[in-house]
Amino acid sequence: MRIALLTMAAPWQQMPLLGVYTRHMAHALNEIGHPTEVFTPTMSSPRFVERFVPKLKRFNDRPDHYEYDGVRFHSIKGYMPHQVYLRWKVSPRFPRLSARLIGATVTGGLIREVRAFRPDAVLVHDGVMLGPTGKKVARAAGVPFGVIEHDPIDMPPDSVLGRYYVETVREAKVIFSVGFPWYRYLRDTLGLQQARLASNGTIMATDEQLGTPRPEKWRGRKVVLCVGGYLERKGHALLIEAFAAANVPGTLLAIVGPPPEPIAALVRKLGVEDRVEFLPLMPQTEVLQHMAWSDLFALPSWWESFGLVYAEAMSAACPVLMTTDCGMAFNMTAGEHGWVIPPRDVPALTAALREALTTADLKAMGRACREHVLNRLTWKRNAQTLAAGLSGEPDPDAHRAR
């Protein structure tokens, strides 16, 4: 089966981490015998606009066709607002407008490029933004389409967005969700019976990284690592408060990325400057190495569709701490692979940190984490699930309680 993957989140040389999961997904589909190419609507602008918005240059310079890790990418450029702004600011109230702003300048180009590829199915990432365009592309190519959702579901069934979404994806052959709560919501609340669970895979820490000794400054300390953008819902402030309250001697909280001033001020206010270290931003391979050096990975996010970063940490034999609002929480066992606590609960977070850093056998938990990822959370397994759903095979999770 040949698959055309439509997404607005795809990496290229100047932005190698944008939608990096797209590259892994397409690569795995190719490896199991389903030729897959990625077609991505891309922002562009007249060149003179770059003088006022310099970031547009990297989008304008994006190649129309390129290969990355053995995957073929096609950029279809059009004049459109930034996708994140459209998805989270405009779509909740005006979803049709958002979709039209995307499709208006790229639909014709997408149809031409996809037809030339001659797919057997079109897989659309994000039914809100690309659903109508993907449906048109699939019809023009004469093939069925599926949808895959990587974001948390924010569509009450009686809302403008909920009604629009159901109408848009009702004709899809299959609708994949990466997190079990969102899969269940699509199936049981929105009534989309073609919903299917497709947990993400993850890149794996290497044996070499697992065997590399820690830097001297970390030796003799228990290290809690945190990796995530400084958004409120990632819970950095709560983690710092809980770490200070746990007050376990000989421990360090390492956070990747220079802090915004409110976070830096909180560290000063709590008097933990000597126990909180801010690391520079780093490539993904270096993040994996730091995960392998750490004793615990903690990111108390709420409203997290899946949380690839937790799977990455588990692959590095590092136990994880997350909240019940993370889709990844349904892919691990609390007490065996780490801790799952209620969101926004500083006392529970403090207790979990204290237990992890005093009495837990973190080495044994880390070994169980890596074994679990090797068996359950690979991109090959994700690709097999996608191919099975697009082929019309029965949903193996259909028996799960409604």
- Give residue limits of the domains in the chain: 3-201+379-390, 207-376
The per-residue pLDDT for 297 is: 98
CB atoms within 10 A of CB 245: 15
The per-residue pLDDT for 402 is: 58
The per-residue pLDDT for 144 is: 97
Q: Helix-strand-coil percent breakdown of the chain, rounded to 5?
A: 45, 20, 35
The per-residue pLDDT for 59 is: 87
Token reading at 320: 């994880």
Per-residue pLDDT of the chain (402 residues; tens, 9 = 90+): 999 999 999 988 888 878 888 999 999 999 999 999 999 999 888 898 888 888 888 888 999 999 988 999 999 999 888 888 888 889 999 999 999 999 999 999 999 999 999 999 999 999 999 999 999 999 999 999 999 998 878 899 999 999 999 999 999 999 999 988 899 999 999 999 999 999 999 989 999 999 999 999 999 999 999 999 999 999 999 999 999 999 999 999 999 999 999 999 999 999 999 999 999 999 889 999 999 999 999 999 998 888 999 999 999 999 999 999 888 998 899 999 999 999 999 999 999 999 999 999 999 999 999 999 999 999 999 999 999 999 999 988 887 765
pTM assigned to the model: 0.88
- Burial environment of residue 189 by CB neighbours within 10 A (0 to 12, 13 to 18, 19 or more): middle
Look up the CATH superfamily of 207-376.
Glycogen Phosphorylase B; (3.40.50.2000)
Between vectors from CA 229 to CA 226 and to CA 232, what angle results, nearest 5°? 95
The answer to whether the 3-201+379-390 and 207-376 domains have the same CATH topology is yes
| Cα–Cα distance, 292 to 248 (Å, whole number) | 21
Nearest CA among 255, 307, 310 for reference residue 281: 255
CB atoms within 10 A of CB 9: 17
CATH level 3 topology of 3-201+379-390: Rossmann fold (3.40.50)
The per-residue pLDDT for 82 is: 80
The Cα-based distances of 203 to 57, 134, 257, 310, 363 in angstroms read 30, 28, 21, 11, 21
